[in-house]
Structure formats: C-alpha cells, structure tokens
Structure 1
C-alpha cells in the first residue's frame, strides 16, 4: 500500500481551508473541549474546560461592550468572574465577524481570528516550525492556559497576567529573559484593555511590590520579612496560602501556593484599589479578606522621616508624627494636618557624634526599601555596629523576622512611608543624637520606675473594683428588667430649642411604619459584636461599623455613643429625614435599632469611603471625568433636597467627608444630623445655635446665624473648588492676604491664572474649558452676599450647558475666623471652629 505524504505548503493550504470551514459552522452548535488542537479550534460558542472543570475558557463580552474577548473564568461559580484575558488589547469588534481561537504554525502558534483568516487579531507569538498533532493548548486546574509541543510547555498565560493574581501565578522579574510579570487594571468595566494602574515587583534594594497610578506610587507592600510582606500582616492569617519567594541571579518573584480548597484571588480595579477575596459558598458571593488601609498605606501620606498612626482619635482616623530626632519641615502646614512636607532633623541635631544611638520603634511597616542596603549574613548586633560606623546610615531593621530576627536592612537618607500596627509588624531602629537618646531613655526609666507602684495599686484596688462592678451590674440588671416589662420602648423625637422640627415615636415594631426596626442581636451578629476590624470610622456621635446581615446584604451601622452629648439630636434628625428622602445621590437608610441603651442607624454600605479620602489623600485615583461626574451628582442631590423632595431640606453641613462613594464611584450625600426642614414658602431662618464645619460655612450663617438654601450653595462652591484643586479650603497660602483656598482661587481668577491651582494629579488630561467653567460656577456659589449666589437649579443648568454665565463678585472668605451668636451678630471669637474639619454640633452663644 502506498503511503500518502504531504509537504508543508500543502499542509498549510489544507489547514487554512479547514479553519475557514470550521469558522463558518452554525453558531448554534457549541462544543465543550478539553484541548485545542490543529484540527479542533475553539469557536465562539465553545468552551474549553480544565480537567476537573474548575476553570473555563471561551469568548465573552465585558459589561455593556459589544466587543468580544477570549478569557478564563471560574466554571463552578455562578457569578462569572474573569481572571485572565488573552486579547485584552485586541478585541474582536462587532464588524469583525465570528471569532476563532486556533493553533496555526505560520501565524504565531496560538492565534485569534476574526473574519479575516489570513490576519490574526492576536497571537501568542510562538515559533512553531509546522503545525502537527503534537501541538496542543490546554487549560489547567490552576486557571493557566498552556501550549505544549510533544508534551513540553512552550508558552503559558500565567506569564502575561491581566488584573488578577491567582494561586500558583508568579509576579516578578525573570532576570534572564527580562520577562516581567505584573498586573494592570482594566480601563473600565466595559473595557478590559490595559488601564493606568499597575501592581509590580520592584527588585532593587529589598524587593517589594508597588501599586502605581501611571508613574506615581500609590501603595507598597513593604519587603518580604519571612512568609509575609512587611506591610501586609494579614497574609499570615487570612490568605489560605503559603508564600514562595525567590530572589537570586535568575529571578525575583513571589508565588502563593494554595493549601486549602478555596477559590481566592487578588484584583486591582480601574480605580487603583487592591482587593483580595475568597468565594463564600454559603452566601454565594466573593468576600473581601484584605485591601490596603488607605489612611496610612497611601504612599508617603505623611512625607519623609515621619510615621503614620492609624488608631488615633482624629476624625479621619490617622495621625502623622515625626520620627525620633526629627521635626516638621513646615510647622504651620503640620498644624493644619497637611503632612506631605514631612520632617527634617531637629535644629541643632547632629549625628555621628559621641553618645548617639538608636531609638527602637515596635510594630511598624519599615520605610521604603527601594534604595536600602541588604546583608542577609548580619545579626542584629552586627547591624547596629555597621550602621553606627556609617554616618549616612539613618536606620536599620532585621530582614527576616524568624527566630528572633536575622539579616540586616540599612537605610541611608530619608525614611519614607513608615506606619505602625496595633499588634504586629517589625522593629525599626532610628538613629538619633545623644540629646534625643537621653530623652527617650528618661521616658523609659520613668515608666519602669512607676511599674512597682502600679503593681501595688492594682493589687489593692482590684478586689474593690470587682465588687463595685458586680454591685453596679446587679442594679443595672434590675432596672433593665423593670423596663422590659413595659414592652413598648418609646423615644419622643423633639427638641426644646428652635431647631425642633418634628416628632415621632420609635417602638419595637418600627418608626411610624416607614422605617424597619432591627433587633440588637441582629446588629451584634452582623458586626461580629462591633469588632474593631469592622470599624469604618468615628465622629462626635460615636462610631460606624461595617456589617453583613444573614441574607448577605452589607450594611453600615452608625452607633450613637452612650456618653455622647453630641449625636442624640443628629440621630433624631436622621431618623425623621432619611426615612422620607429617596434619591440616587443621597445615602439610603435601611432601618434603625433602639433597644436598651443602644441607638443605631443602619445604612446601605458604600465600599469606596468618603470623597475627602480621594481628593485630599488619593487624588491620583480620580481623573477629571470621574470628578465631574461626582460634582454633577452632588449638585443633583442638593437640588433634590432644596426643591424636588417632599420636604424642603437645608443640609447645613455639606463637606467632602459627608459625601460617600458607592462601588461605581457615584456620590451620595450623608449625615443629616444638622439638617433643617423649611416650609414651602420659607426663604430664610435664624438660629442662635450655629452648627457646621469651619471652612464650609457661609458668612451670613457663621456671623449672624442666618441660613437658607444659599448656605448650602456656598458650601457646594467650596466643595467644588476642593474637588478641582485637590486642596482643603483651610490650606494656607503665603502669597494670599486671605490665606485660604477660596481667597487664593479668587486672586488667581482675577489674574486669569486659575489653571495654576488645578490638582497636579490631573496632569494635562482634562478639558480646560470645562474645568474653568467649574471654577467660575464655584466662585458664583461662594459670593459674599447670599442674594448674589445662584440657586441649585441654576447651578445644575450651568453644569449641563455652555451658555454664558455672569461674572462672579468678591467671595466671602471668613478670613479663618469663626463666629457664634446668641441673637447678637457682634459676638464672635477667634478659632471657635475646628481647623481639623470636625463638625461642631452645639456651639452656643455665651
């Protein structure tokens, strides 16, 4: 029998004809594949499954896009979760016909075709001499698309990550081939192309991962200390993985090995947020296990030679302090909580002199190690000596935490991006002169000298304390038992001041049948008994916690502090108001809880925190398009309050921290504790109890207690300027006689230099006319006389069209002066209102 043979030209012709034939098969016929071969391509309705069907590969359309892509997703999860994309930069557009993923030797091995079978849309760029049955593409149970020739792996999708890290996927640099594996975000929810955010390994110094927005660092993990990143203490207890770290002449990389049967992933989204989550089969959703603590993890938030404390009592939940031996570079900026200038050596301080030494800081994320020096053969004692001998050495730490610490990292120059932790972290030794060293030694000795006295005091007082506590508990329990017999728990919402505006009853069945009532036990369970790791923030009223109800719904719980004088009025206000207000740009209240001594409001959970978090600390996360959408959303929300709602509401405390952002970055106005209801024909009201926040108050309200819808317009104008500039109104400007943002912008506007104040994070990527129009509208809103300011209906109209608008008059600046009145407009004091943007709820005239 004669054996048939085929040369390469003939094979190429036959395979091309076969591919064209297969591509034009009816789309209704779908096939489940376990491999892609030269004779078996993947068509648009086909699915390639991994051996145990954990992962699937096929064509998909993201969001509302009509473009098609080849992607990998979890096959056993009902929520389609894309974890890898082949042609993210080369989509199959609607006009490109039917897609096909095939093996083709002449076009790069593994290719994606559209309608044109001669020009691939995408290829793996493989060199395959001639396609034959030994070339095969498979999907592994790890989610890795692999191409093999004769059983040998020649290409894998894991070498080209998209926005997701899976277990067994390496992130890092292959020093031999220069292949750099890193994550890049999607451009948008409808476009998986390479966005502006990336997470990549930085191999210099002691390697660490950095999150970038363009070229700007936003976050870093810190160096690897043993089995975790220095800046990710949660790795040891939440990640379900073991870490494999390689740093040698061939590569520097990290890979996590899954040791539990969980579906886990780490994703970087188009806004630059990093989130690590695991699939929860009970609630059928991805549950977040970790993301950066942006209050202190935002890169360089405190500037050089400083340290961030995230557990202070400030309203924005973190505080910056200078490292030992350093002082603020710009004292007035530091006083205003503008910390980016950082710290410098104290005046008169001199290192490399007799008597100097080190102050040890415990439980920290060590400074940026990009330029640090590493010696893994040094003990801690040898590290101390080495740093002392080198006058340029500013600090040192152990490179490895295990077995008491080993290895040596030394810093030479500024110490950037240091923070503390509550119960974990590394020790950092900071170099100080003899004077500072003596001061710290004195503090330490003083604390030790008091120890014995404390021991005696505690021993003597412990028994008395226990007995007293027991007696109080018995009395309290008896009183509660008596109250519980009443069964109906009524709270009359009323006020004896002129701020009284409504009355309602809260009982165990609800609030006027309009607002659901939650049992205390339900809220305790949802918040894990108000666990500290569920705490979202705090204010004068108390604290806010994240919770998850039994049905999987995420909530935010505003818990009124039992000993808070401030907050009861706000609670009453919000119960009445938010139960009656419904708008997409107002935060939605879900219910309340009033039981025993607890008073709580339950809101929808908004994952992206508040606006001030983005524009003052994370400005790089918001491009101009997003900022303008937020501006318009806030304006629509205020217009609803002033004109379109059932009640006519004056908010009275509109500011950046009271604008929350949902998962799609839509703004929602919150915190109606200071709000007032106006009658339909009412124009203006007077109060002798001025409430609000310094920097956002209109002049007539701060000075005379007069408020109206124009008071909110003024606050909106200030907020609009802050969004455009990325600066607080309380910022100090040396060259401005008014020394605040409004005054500074006014000066620049008069000189046609307004573009100079625009947030530098925007670069040049913004429409100049639109930005200038926003500044123009803001200046109209902050005019000194209330009658000169536009109504919110006019503001919304001006935002939406290009019609001519009037020139602004002189704004009201307040000149960093705050006022309170008791019917007397002349009564005023300096500095009554907080420069820290903390809301004042009871500033009575004296």
Structure 2
C-alpha cells in the first residue's frame, strides 16, 4: 500500500471538509438592491435582491460541489439558478467578492483580489457613476447612473435558462451578436456543456438544439405565431412568443405570460432537453409542463435522409413513398441512420423531360399530410399552393415543397430531406417530388385514391354544414341551435313536452333560452339560442382548449352555474330539479359565460314538496347522487351532488370518467378526498391555472366541492349556501364528511352501484343531434 498516496488523499479530504464547513456555517447575511463602488456583494455576507423580491443574486455552490459561483436565482426555498457569471472560472474558497472595479466594470475577485471574471467593457468609464441593479425580470444590468444608459446586461449573455422578456438572438452575419442557451456540463458543474439552443437564422426561423455542431432537436418553422413542428403549441394573445426580424438573417425571440405571478421559465438541461417549468408553490417544487424530447421521433434525423418517423408505429421508421432503405440489413436491425434512397431517378434535367410517353413523363408530387416539415426550408414568393408547386416543378434542384398560412411557399433544394415526423394531428402538408413511374406503384395509387375520396367527403360535409348554417338562421338574422331528437332516442313525447313546458317558463341569464319547438309525427325538435362555444365538456381535459379557461374564467363559470341552479331551486315560479346536471349540459356563449341546458329529465316540485321517488332512474353515470342511483330518491340535494362533481372537474381540468380504472381509485371524487385527507388538496388544481396568489380561494372552492358530494344528502349544503360559500359570504367552512364509495373501487357495494347504473342512462335518455344553424 502507498502510504504517501493515502496521506495526500486524507489531506485533500480535510481541505474539502474545511471548505464546506467554512462556506456553510451560519453567518449573518444582509441584502442590498444596488452594487456601487462602496457596496460590493461578498460571499456569505451579502446578497442582491430585486425590487419585487422575485430574484436574488449571490454566491452559491452547485449540488455535490465545493466550488463557488456568482449567479442569479429565483428567490424561493429551492435553489434555482438562471444565470451564472463565472461559469468557466469557479472560486475555490468562500472569499470571493462581486464589485465595481476602478475602470467601471463589474468584476468578481478571489481572496487574493485577482479578477476571475469581468463584464469586459471596452471603453473606460467614470468610476463614481456606474452601478449594478438586479431587475425584477432577473436581468442583472450595469448602467451609468448619471444618464440611465445600460452598459451591460446579463440577459445578453445567457446561461442555460430562458426567462420572460429575455431575448434569444441570432445573426447570420455577425456571430458576436448571437445570444444562445448553453447547457451545464453536469448538475454539479455549470461550465458550458455539450448542448446549445439557438435561433436558426438561415431560411425560415426555427429553434434548434445543437450537439457538437450537429442538430439534436428542432421546433419546426415559425409561422408568425407558433412553431409548426410543435403540434400542441397554440397561439394566445396573452401568453405568447414573439420573433422579430430586424433585418434579413437577424432574429430575436422572446416570450411573455399574462399571469406574471406564476413563475415559469425554459431551461436547456444537461441532456440537451428543453423544458418548460413552473413553480408549484403549494407543493414547494418545480413542475415540468413541457419537454422538447417526448419520444424517440423528436430526436433530430432519427430515420436518416428520406425517412419518416411515427412514434405510434412499430418500427417507428419507414421510408417515404418512392424510396427504399439504403442498407436493408441495418434497417431491419433497427439502425435507421443510413436512411433511404430513391427507387427511380427523377426525370427532371433529362432531354426529353416534356415527353408524354412512358419514362419521359414529367416528375410528379406526392402529398403527405400532418407531418413535421424537413429542416432548412427556403422561402419563395408564391401566392398559392398551386403556384408554389409550379415553381418547384420548374426547378430541377427542388425535391419538395409546402405551403403554409403565415409562412407562404417553402422549397427544399438539394439531395436529401431530413427530420420528417408523422403527427396524429396538426403539422403541415408536404409535397415530395417523385419520378412519374412511381405512380404505377399500387400503394401510391391507393394513397391518391384515398386522398381524393377523403377530399370529396370533406367537401360534402362542408357544403352541408354551410348550407344548414345559412338555412337555420332566422329571418331577423338571429343564429339558432336546433336540438333534433333522433328517432331511436328513448326520450318520448312525455319527456319532450316536459322539456318544452319547463324551459318555456324559465328566464335567467344562466339558462339556455328556448325560442320555439316542433313536433310532427316522429320528428321532434327544439329551437334554442345559439351558443357559439359549445359545451363545457369540450374544454375540460383538452390541453388546447383549456388554455382559454384561466382561473378567473373558471370562477365565472362555476358561479354562473350555481346562480342558474339557485334560480331553478328557489327563485323561479316553479321549483325545478334538473336531474342531469353535467359538463355536457353546460353551454358557453361568446364570452364563455355558462348556461344550463337540456331539461328533458327535469321535474317540477309543487307546494311544500322537497323530494320525490322514481322507479326509473335517469341521468349520467358519475354525476348521480347515491340516494338517487340506488333508491330513486331525488331532491335539490341530488342536483347539489351533481354540481359538486362538476365543480371538481372544472378545478382539476379532468373529467370524472377519466379516473375509472385509474390508479387513483374509482373516481375524481375519491382522488380529491384522498388529497384532502393528506392536506394536499392544491395538487387537485389544474397546473395550467395554478396561481400562488389564489391558493386560499382555490382551497375554498375545493372544500365546497367536497361538501357538495358528501354521502349523506342531509350533510350537503343547499345551493344558496353553496353560493354564499363560494363568494366568501360564509367565512369559515366546515370540513367535509366522506363522499360515497371512496375507499376502494373493488368493494362489493361499489360493484353493486356499477351494476345498477349499467341499466341507467349514459346519455341514453338524452340522445340528440345538436345542429348549429
């Protein structure tokens, strides 16, 4: 054994322990808002805090590291660094200082007063007027305090994080002006890693993650509002990206969110994955809302040149029509990097390319729909898809084209097409150039025929839709919705006349207004006011539509439904129990205000009647109160139960039915009850609307929802009390009792309920065709 070697190791270990202890022993720390010549930031003594308390700047050590760095961090309990100054020059002890130097630069000094990092301003400036501020955006700025001019800012020297109002920039002509994200080398080492994220300024702008000079991931082309290679990305006026072209070859990308109280940012992690994170304050941790690499097909060029990747198929890689694998053996073994090659050479460029016989016929284009377009498209002036195709056909180097609103005509010139991906929805149409002889391929013909049939069908549907829309409209121009009962519907004449009788006597802003009706033979139809935004259930559990329902909009919907029920139960001339309250029966107007609809199952209570019994249980599984489902007893409290289920759906952004056979238990209700007992109810809230400023209100609404779905009807509040609770007129809310069948979805009692409900409606009683006119 080498004794000297062990002694050296022991000595190094003691030094490391001493450094850790000296850096992390408690010291009194003060905070300042400005760095001046007389106010530096010293390690373990001072931190810089932004005005709004959102960010702080100070010295830190990454996990499992003893090195010290200066960084900008979110001002939260979990260390989250968004920018590092000396990422390539760490301090080895806790004696560092961040200060304004004699030449006006912002510098980091080690214990020996040597400069290890500087803002490197080229022109010397006055010592006395330069100050450094940490803005509430997270931007550290060095400015001349005499005139307010910003001399340097950290936002122009990005690390691995992209925050609101920060700009990622690219300039094809001057690389010095480029501002890109560079990953950390590891979670313990913030020095520049293997991945870079930047704007691709050549051709049509895209966000590209690079690895060692090669693309690793890309967003697809920018159409002015979204990146079209991200099918889940939607445009929003309040939450949006902005890409500015100051001049050809120069791009600048920023993003903003309307709800500034929710902390969210993008980070390029050590594995080269771009992630969008938001701070889940109630849980005290960051949640990942989006990742750039969701499956193998998201990795750039997974299937090689002229290959197409589809994550829903096995194998995921196939060759484009008209192409075969370059190396069949490698392809069969799952190595698709070699890609594909043409089966038949293109006719373009040959002497007789205008001939009409056999091989002399001109090249053709095969259309592929819902795809991520290949990398590096070139823009071409064309006013239509047809004109774009002609430009490509007349150019022998053009091997594919596409036309997309907001971008226009895109051409691909060269020898290969890379990184094409098939989407289940979204994407764009791509036209691939093939030799005319490829049309003899039966598969190609089948694809063409199928496309023609599909287009014909779509045309018929669109013509029918617009014809119906034109004919329903009333002579006075009012748009209407016609509820036409199908002949197979179980809703007979009695239920139809019941709906007419009930709704014709009701007038309330949160109830759908009946305009007229028709009953002739087997045909039955009701004419309602037209609700342009359809039903609430189309917004719940839909990632694209849910973005339109922020917290305040959901509050308006919840309270609107509650006021509509209050009118039915207490304020109208008739006391009405709806019996089929659910998301599908809540319609939304132009401003997303709710209106209760579908009164076919409603019952009118007379005199002092407060409950009734029936042997015919109707309604929708998952929304029915237990006393109604099992015993046929219904009352105001059974509507309150349905409202409670609906309230929990709106809060969570998930349908009750989505929990069946789920790991959480039988239903959304049991999941909410579990979280309540764990004092973790905020986890129920849809992450898209979570706001730490609204935590108290969100807890209150969750509490009310659970009070409404208590097992015993007598324990549930009436609807007027519910409204008072929601509006905080009742300050202290009681704890809820357990809901029905919450313990285990496999209990015999629950199975009995499911068997009972299997004979009830799952909308079987209210099968209708809603036709907007």
TM-score range (shorter-chain normalised) is 0.5 to 0.7
Match of 1:419 in 2: 421
Match of 1:669 in 2: none
Do the aligned partners of 2:206 and 2:220 also contact (CA within 8 Å) in 1? Answer: yes
Aligned counterparts, 1:1-400, within 5 A: 28-44=27-43, 45-75=45-75, 77-94=76-93, 97-106=94-103, 109-117=105-113, 119-127=114-122, 129=124, 131-149=126-144, 150=146, 151-174=148-171, 175-176=173-174, 178-236=176-234, 240-246=239-245, 248-249=247-248, 251-261=250-260, 262-292=262-292, 293-312=294-313, 314=314, 319-347=316-344, 350=347, 353=353, 354-369=361-376, 372-375=377-380, 379-398=384-403
> Secondary structure in 2 aligned to 1:72?
strand
Aligned residues: 483
1:376 offset after TM fit, Å?
5.2
Matched, 1:406 2:408: yes
Give the distance between the partners of 1:465 and 1:321, measured in 2 at CA.
45
> Secondary structure in 1 aligned to 2:448?
helix
After superposition, the C-alpha distances for 1:237-296 in whole angstroms (9 at most, x for unaligned) are 589333133262473232223433132211111122221122234444322221122321
After superposition, the C-alpha distances for 1:123-165 in whole angstroms (9 at most, x for unaligned) are 1112353542211111112111111123211111111111111
1:170 offset after TM fit, Å?
1.6
Give the distance between the partners of 1:412 and 1:247, measured in 2 at CA.
28
After superposition, the C-alpha distances for 1:345-382 in whole angstroms (9 at most, x for unaligned) are 1246655643533222222211011xx42235654333
Give the distance between the partners of 1:180 and 1:123, measured in 2 at CA.
19
Call closer, same or farther: CA 1:54–1:406 in 2, change over 3 Å.
same
Call closer, same or farther: CA 1:83–1:198 in 2, change over 3 Å.
same
Call closer, same or farther: CA 1:68–1:597 in 2, change over 3 Å.
farther
Call closer, same or farther: CA 1:265–1:394 in 2, change over 3 Å.
same
After superposition, the C-alpha distances for 1:274-322 in whole angstroms (9 at most, x for unaligned) are 211222344443222211223211111122112222334x4xxx72232
> Secondary structure in 1 aligned to 2:88?
coil
Call closer, same or farther: CA 1:198–1:113 in 2, change over 3 Å.
same
Call closer, same or farther: CA 1:367–1:130 in 2, change over 3 Å.
closer
Alpha carbon RMSD of aligned pairs, Å?
Answer: 4.9
Call closer, same or farther: CA 1:158–1:125 in 2, change over 3 Å.
same
After superposition, the C-alpha distances for 1:65-94 in whole angstroms (9 at most, x for unaligned) are 22211111122x332211111111111112
Aligned counterparts, 1:680-699, within 5 A: none
Do the aligned partners of 2:382 and 2:388 also contact (CA within 8 Å) in 1? Answer: no
Call closer, same or farther: CA 1:289–1:477 in 2, change over 3 Å.
closer
Give the distance between the partners of 2:649 and 2:418, measured in 1 at CA.
40
Call closer, same or farther: CA 1:48–1:310 in 2, change over 3 Å.
same
1:53 offset after TM fit, Å?
2.1
Match of 1:432 in 2: 434
Aligned counterparts, 1:554-573, within 5 A: none
After superposition, the C-alpha distances for 1:712-752 in whole angstroms (9 at most, x for unaligned) are xxxxxxxxxxxxxxxxxxxxxxxxxxxxxxxxxxxxxxxxx
Give the distance between the partners of 1:319 and 1:467, measured in 2 at CA.
46
Give the distance between the partners of 2:273 and 2:206, measured in 1 at CA.
18
1:222 offset after TM fit, Å?
1.9
Call closer, same or farther: CA 1:525–1:328 in 2, change over 3 Å.
farther
Call closer, same or farther: CA 1:112–1:592 in 2, change over 3 Å.
farther
1:390 offset after TM fit, Å?
1.0
1:552 offset after TM fit, Å?
7.2
Give the distance between the partners of 1:170 and 1:263, measured in 2 at CA.
17
Give the distance between the partners of 2:119 and 2:303, measured in 1 at CA.
44
Could you tell me which of 518, 521, 528 is aligned with 2:654? 528
Call closer, same or farther: CA 1:276–1:447 in 2, change over 3 Å.
closer
Call closer, same or farther: CA 1:380–1:248 in 2, change over 3 Å.
farther
Call closer, same or farther: CA 1:164–1:593 in 2, change over 3 Å.
farther
Do the aligned partners of 2:184 and 2:191 also contact (CA within 8 Å) in 1? Answer: yes
Call closer, same or farther: CA 1:41–1:446 in 2, change over 3 Å.
closer
Call closer, same or farther: CA 1:190–1:348 in 2, change over 3 Å.
closer
Do the aligned partners of 2:226 and 2:235 also contact (CA within 8 Å) in 1? Answer: no
Give the distance between the partners of 1:530 and 1:205, measured in 2 at CA.
47
> Secondary structure in 2 aligned to 1:386?
helix
Give the distance between the partners of 2:619 and 2:227, measured in 1 at CA.
50
1:415 offset after TM fit, Å?
0.9
Match of 1:832 in 2: none
Give the distance between the partners of 1:280 and 1:476, measured in 2 at CA.
34
1:335 offset after TM fit, Å?
4.3
Do the aligned partners of 2:107 and 2:117 also contact (CA within 8 Å) in 1? Answer: yes
Give the distance between the partners of 1:335 and 1:463, measured in 2 at CA.
52
1:465 offset after TM fit, Å?
7.8
Call closer, same or farther: CA 1:243–1:524 in 2, change over 3 Å.
closer
Give the distance between the partners of 2:751 and 2:418, measured in 1 at CA.
45
> Secondary structure in 2 aligned to 1:279?
strand
> Secondary structure in 2 aligned to 1:444?
helix
After superposition, the C-alpha distances for 1:571-590 in whole angstroms (9 at most, x for unaligned) are xxxxxxxxxxxxxxxxxxxx
Call closer, same or farther: CA 1:452–1:523 in 2, change over 3 Å.
closer
Give the distance between the partners of 1:328 and 1:58, measured in 2 at CA.
55
Give the distance between the partners of 1:524 and 1:39, measured in 2 at CA.
55
1:418 offset after TM fit, Å?
0.8
1:31 offset after TM fit, Å?
2.8
Call closer, same or farther: CA 1:339–1:199 in 2, change over 3 Å.
same
Unaligned runs of 5+ residues in structure 2 are 1-24, 354-360, 463-484, 492-616, 631-646, 660-670, 685-742, 753-773
